[in-house]
Chains A and B, each alone.
Chain A
Amino acid sequence: MSTPTRFSSMPYTGPAPTNRSPYIPKGVDAIDKRGEEIEAKIAAPYVTSVPGQDLPTFIVEREKIVEVLRKLKEDTELRFELPVDLFGVDYPRRPEGRFDVVYQLYSFKNNERVRLVVHTDEDKAVPSSLPVFQGFDWFEREAWDMYGIKFDGHYNLRRILTHEMFQGHALRKDYDPAQRWLLTEKDVAKIVPVVEHHPEDSDFEQVTLNLGPSHPATHGTLRIVVTLDGERIIGADTEIGYLHRCFEKMSETHTYQQVIPFTDRLNYCSAIINNVGYCMAVEKLLGIEAPPRAQYIRLVLSEFMRIADHLVCIATNVLDMGALTNFWYLFQPREEIYQLVEACCGARLLPTYTRVGGLSVDAPANFLDMAKTLVKKLPKHIDDAEKLLLRNRIFLQRVEGVGAITRESAINHGYTGPCLRATGVAYDVRKAHPYMGYETYDFDIPVAEGGDTLARTLVRLEEMRQSLRILRQAIDRGLPAGPVIVDDPYVALPPKEKVYNEMESLIYHFKLIMHGIQPPVGETYFQVEGGNGELGFHLVSDGSKNPYRVRVRPPCFAVYQAFRKMIVGQTIADAIATLGSLNIIAGELDR
C-alpha cells in the first residue's frame, strides 16, 4: 500500500498561482553581486550585466562576443574554460533583433558559470567563436540550422540536425510545422573528408568508406565517412541528425508535464536521470522542491541508472571489439536494474517516472529490499567484467593509447562526464553543483590519465563502484516517510478518489489537465550529471502552460564533435573501439 498523497479536504491556502509574475531565482542577490564583479573585471562598455537571473548574465554587443569570450577564458582569475552551451531563442518582432544567442561557460577554477546573451537578427551575422572555443563548432551549426543565425567565420556552416532539402529554420516561432520536406537518395550530401596529410610513400590508393548510418558498430544512426590509406584513417568526417525527433520544437507545443516522456528518449540508457533533470529544472523555475521521499527515490534510481548506462557502454564497446561474452555478462545486471524500475512504475526502458514536483506513484513497499539485494549482487558482476577485460592482453592492446584526447583539447571541446574525467579533470556535476542531497553522501570522483579508450573504461568501472557506495549509504539511511509529490494543486494532480468525491479537487484536476502548470516568466538552467556528462535543461517561460523554449544541453553532442579528429591516424578497428568508449547515444545526440 502506498503512502496516500496530499490534498486534504480543505481548500489550498498556499500562494496564489504565479502566472505571469517574474521568476526570482534563489540567492539572486549573491548572483547579481558576482555578476557585477565579473563585469568590473571585464571592464568593457559593450558588456551589460542583467540582474535577477539564476546565473551571472550579460548582454554582449554582437561584434564583440569573441573578444569577451576570450577575455573570460584567459583572465587568470576567472578562467571560464569549458564551453557548456550555445543556442538560440527566437523573439519575433523584438526591436533589438529577433534572436538571442545564449552562451554558457563554466570555470573549473571558481566552480561558477556565466551566461552571455547576444541580440542578433536574420541578416546580422554573429562572429564565430571557434577561434576561442572549438567546442562551439556543432552548437553554432545547430543554431544556424534551427534559427538561421549566421556565424561569421565558421568553416563549415551547414545544416546539422535536419537534412539538405529542408527549407526554413524549424525552431523559429513563425515556422509552419505542418510542412513536409522530402529527401531522396540523390540529394544526400556527399561528404568527402578533408585529408590533411597523406603520406607520400604510401603503397595504397585513397579509399573513402562510409560507415553507417546503418552499420553494426554505430548502435543506431551515426554516419562516419573515413578516407583510408590501407587500413589507416587519414581523414574522417561525421554526419548526425538521423534520429532527430524535434524534441525542442515539440516541447514548445506541449505542457510542461507532457514534455517528460520526450526526455525519456534522450539518453534512453539512463532515462530516469533525464526525467529528474527536466523535472528539477521546472521545479527550479517554479521555486518548489520535491518532498524528501521523492528526492530519495529519484537519487537511488538515478544512481542505478548510471550503473546501467555504464554497463551498456562497456558491454557494447567490448562487443565491438569482438568480445561477445562480456556483453551478456554485463547485460544481466542491467536487466535486474530494470526490474527495480519496473517495480516502481511499470515501465522499463522509458519509465517517465518523475513528475514536476515529485514522482508519479510511490515506490513499492519492498523497494529498499530490492535495492539492497541488487547492491549486494552488482559488485560481483562488475568485478567479473573487470577481470574479463583487464586481465586480457588482447583487450589491453586494443584500447591502450587508442582514441586519445588531451586534457586541453577535451576541455576546449566542451567534454564533460566520464570522457572528461578520463583526461584527469575531476569535474562532476554531483560535486560541483550538488542536487538532491548529493553533498551529504560520501563518494569520490574517479579520474584517469591519458584520455584514451582504456582510461574511459577504467573511469566507468570505478564510477559504478562509487555509485554503489552512494547507494549503500542511501540504503542505510532508509526511505524517508511522507508523500512523493508536492502539496501544491497548481503543480500536482489530486488523487483520483478525491477528484471523484470533492468539488475542489475536481476543479484542480480540470485546471491542471486543461491549463497545465504555469510557471513564472523568466528563464533558468539546471544541470544534472547524466550517464555521459553534464545534461542541462534551459527553460524559457512566458508564463503560459507551454514552455517558450526548452533547450537540452546534450553531453554527447559536445563529445562527438571531436571524434573525427580523434580517429585520424588510427585504423578502422580503433575508430570503432573509440566510438564505443565515448558512449554516443543517438537519441541524445540528435534529439
Chain B
Amino acid sequence: MSATLPVVASLFGSIPEPMVQWVVWPTIKFVIAFAIIMGIVAFTTLVERRVLGFMQARLGPNRVGPQGILQFVADPIKLLLKEDIVPAGAQKAAYFIAPMLPIIPAFLVFCLIPFGPPPTFAITDVNVGLLLILALTSTGVYGIILGGWASNNKFSLLGGLRSAAQMVSYEVPFGLSIVGVLMLSGSLSLVEIVHRQELGVWNVLPQLVGCFIFLVAMTAEVNRAPFDLPEAESELVAGFHTEYSGMKFAFFFLAEYASMLVNACLIVILFFGGWTLAIAGKGLTTETMQTMGWLGLSLGFLIFAAKVAFFMILYIWFRGTFPRYRFDQLMELGWKWMIPLALVNIVVTGIVILLVRNGGA
C-alpha cells in the first residue's frame, strides 16, 4: 500500500516496515472506518424512520434540515443533553458497564470486515476472520443481560432473560448456516471466501437454504422485528433498556444498529459475492478492480455498499411487515426448524461436494 500512497507512507519512514504494515495502517484505517461507521449507523436510524414512514403512508421526520436529513445529528445531541437517570435500586457498577459491553464488540468487528477490494478496503485480513467475528458478536448479549439485571426492574429482567435465551438459541443456526459456505470455500478468511465466489458463483445459489437460515438467524441475533421480543414495546415496555436514558440508551441503540450493519456486511460477503460482480471469473473481479486503480477500488466499495444497503432496507422492510413472534413460538422455530434444517443443509452439502469431487476425479 505504500506504493499507492508514497507521500503518506514516507511520513512513516523512520518506523520499521512491519510496524507500518501491521499497526500504523490498520489503526488509521480503523479510525477512518469507525468515524464513517458511526455516521452510517446514526444515519441508518434516520433512513429507518423515513423508509418506515414511506411504507406506512406517513411522513417520518422531515423538519431538521432539507428532508429531515440532519435528524441524525439532532438525535445524538438531544440524547447527550438528556438527564442521565440511575434508578434507585440499580446495581450501580453493572448498570454503568452494561451499555458499553455490546457496543465494543459491535464496532471491533468492523476491523475484520473487508469493505471493498483488498488490501485498501480491508483493515486486516485475518485467516480465521469469520471465527473471530462469530466470537466477538456473541459477546454482545452480556451487556443486554447485565443491563436487564442491573436495572432492578422486572420488565428489564424479563427482557434480558428473553434476550439471553433468544441469542443463545439463534447463535446455533447462525453458526451452522455458515458451515456450508466454509465447506465450499475451504477457508475462514473473508477475502478468500469472496475470491472463491468471483471464480465460481455467488454462494447464495448452492447454499440457498443456508442463506435463508442465515438471514432469519441474523435478524433474530440483533433483536429486530419480527424477533424483537427482548424490547417488545407493548409487552415489556422497552425490555432490557426500560430504565436507560440519555447516552446510555443511545449506546444500546448504536450497538444494535452496528450489529445490524455487521450482519448485513457478513451476508453480502458470505453469500452475495462481497464487492465483486462476477461469475466464473468474468466481470468485475477483484483483480480487474485492482488493475483499474483507484477508480476500480472505489467501484468495488460502492458495489459492496449498495448490497449492504439493500440488506439494511430489508431489515426495515421486515419491521414494516411482520407482527412479533410469541416467545415460545420463537424458541420452537429456532430449535425445531432452523437447527435441524441447518444440519440437513450441512449433510447435503457434504454429500454433494463428495459426489462432485469423485465425479470429477
Q: CB within 8 Å of B: which residues of A? A: 207, 209-210, 215-217, 231, 318-325, 327-329, 332, 392, 394-395, 397-398, 571-574, 576
Contact = CB atoms under 8 A, between A and B. Distances in A.
Nearest to B322: A394
B325 to A, nearest CB: 6
A215 B238 CA distance: 10
Contact of B234 (A207, A320, A329): A320
A26 B235 CA distance: 51
A581 to B, nearest CB: 13
Given A322-B322, A329-B57, A394 B226 contact: yes
A120 B228 CA distance: 56
A321 B327 contact: no
8 contacts: A216-B234, A231-B328, A318-B323, A322-B234, A324-B225, A397-B326, A398-B325, A573-B327
Given A207-B154, A395-B323, A322 B226 contact: yes
B321 A573 contact: no
A573 B236 CA distance: 9
Contacts of B228: 322
B57 A571 contact: no
A192 to B, nearest CB: 15
Given A216-B234, A324-B319, A325-B320, A394 B325 contact: yes
Interface residues of B, number: 29
B75 interface: no
B319 A576 contact: no
B166 to A, nearest CB: 12
A401 to B, nearest CB: 12
A325 B326 contact: no
Contacts of B357: none
A328 B58 contact: yes
B324 interface: yes
B56 A217 contact: no
B55 A321 contact: no
B84 interface: no
A392 B325 CA distance: 12
A120 B83 CA distance: 58
A492 B225 CA distance: 56
Contact of B324 (A209, A321, A327, A571): A321
A175 B162 CA distance: 51
Contacts of A216: 233-234, 237
Given A231-B328, A329-B57, 20 more contacts: A209-B155, A215-B237, A216-B233, A231-B158, A320-B235, A322-B226, A322-B233, A322-B322, A328-B56, A332-B57, A392-B323, A394-B325, A397-B325, A397-B329, A398-B324, A398-B325, A573-B324, A573-B327, A576-B234, A576-B235
A356 to B, nearest CB: 40
A332 B55 CA distance: 13
Contacts of B324: 321-323, 394, 398, 573
B52 interface: yes
Given A324-B52, A394-B325, A571-B327, A319 B234 contact: yes
Contacts of B56: 324-325, 327-329
Interface in B203-250: 225-226, 228, 232-237
B323 A398 contact: yes
A327 B226 CA distance: 16
Mostly helix, strand, loop or mixed at chain B's interface?
A: helix
Contacts of B236: 572
Nearest to A329: B57
A329 B321 CA distance: 12
Interface in B149-201: 154-155, 158, 162
A306 to B, nearest CB: 23
A325 B55 contact: yes
Contacts of B58: 328
Contacts of B55: 325
Select the residue from B52, B237, B322, B329 with max chain A CB neighbours within 10 A: B322
Contacts of A572: 158, 235-236
B57 A392 contact: no
Contacts of A329: 56-57
Contacts, number: 81
A329 B233 CA distance: 20
B320 A398 contact: no
A378 B144 CA distance: 44
A397 B328 CA distance: 11
A573 B235 contact: yes
Contacts of A576: 234-235
A207 B234 CA distance: 19
Nearest to B325: A394
Contacts of A320: 234-235
A332 B154 CA distance: 36
Nearest to B328: A571
Select the residue from A322, A327, A328 with max chain B CB neighbours within 10 A: A322
A398 B326 contact: yes
A576 B154 CA distance: 17
Contacts of A574: 326
Nearest to B53: A328
A323 B323 contact: yes
Contact of A217 (B154, B225, B235): B235
A207 B327 CA distance: 17
A392 B326 CA distance: 14
Contacts of A209: 154-155, 158
A328 B236 CA distance: 22
Interface string B290-322: 000000000000000000000000000001111
A42 to B, nearest CB: 49
Contacts of B57: 328-329, 332
Contacts of A571: 326-328
B232 A573 contact: yes
B210 to A, nearest CB: 22
Nearest to A577: B326
Contacts of B162: 231
A398 B326 CA distance: 7
Contacts of A207: 154
Contacts of B322: 322-323, 392, 394
Contacts of A328: 56-58
Contacts of B52: 324
B333 to A, nearest CB: 10
A216 B225 CA distance: 17
A52 to B, nearest CB: 52
A324 B320 contact: yes
Nearest to A574: B326
Kindly list the 9 A-B residue pairs having the minimum CB-CB distance in the complex, ordered from nearest. A322-B324, A328-B56, A323-B323, A320-B234, A217-B234, A321-B323, A573-B326, A325-B320, A322-B323
B327 A231 contact: yes
A253 B323 CA distance: 48
A574 B325 CA distance: 11
A321 B58 CA distance: 20
Contacts of A321: 234, 323-324
Contacts of B155: 209
A327 B57 CA distance: 10
A571 B332 CA distance: 15
A107 to B, nearest CB: 39
Interface in B125-165: 154-155, 158, 162
B62 to A, nearest CB: 16
A321 to B, nearest CB: 4
A329 B54 CA distance: 12
A200 to B, nearest CB: 20
A572 B155 CA distance: 11
A17 B334 CA distance: 75
A154 B57 CA distance: 51
A183 to B, nearest CB: 22
Select the residue from B58, B154, B324, B329 with max chain A CB neighbours within 10 A: B324
A398 B228 CA distance: 15
A51 B293 CA distance: 102
Nearest to B157: A207
Nearest to B319: A324
A346 B292 CA distance: 68
A319 B235 CA distance: 11
